[in-house]
Amino acid sequence: MKKILEERKDIVFHIKLYPLKQLHPEAYEKSKAIVCEKSLTLLEDAFEKKAIPKAKCETTAVDETILLAEKLGISSTPTSVLPDGRLVPGAVDAKTLLDMIGK
């Protein structure tokens, strides 16, 4: 994403935390903590397997994201939703994603 943002100033990423509870039991708590702080640094820490503090707020946002993702048929992460609504499951390289987003 960073690579894309360097190249294209007309693209913005909105990241929604969608823990796959069965696969990663701790992901739900971590997601809440990250959403509470709205912190990209915390998300990067989580990706790097660093310990992150417990959620500092009560939020139902993560539960809502889980329900919404299931309804939309998003079953793997990461999944990108392009501006026109196309779903791109899996981690794809910057060039592929840019080709799909278009100009």
Residues that bind other proteins (CB under 8 A): 1-2, 5, 8-20, 23-24, 26-27, 30-31, 34-35, 38-40, 43, 46-47, 59, 61-62, 64-65, 68-69, 72-74, 77-89, 97, 100-101
Distance CA 39, CA 102 (A): 29
Distance CA 36, CA 52 (A): 12
| Smallest distance, other proteins to C-beta of residue 37, A | 9
| Smallest distance, other proteins to C-beta of residue 35, A | 5
Provide long-range contacts, Cβ within 8 A and 24+ apart, for 93-100.
94/3, 94/4, 94/7, 97/4, 98/4, 98/7, 98/8
| Smallest distance, other proteins to C-beta of residue 100, A | 8
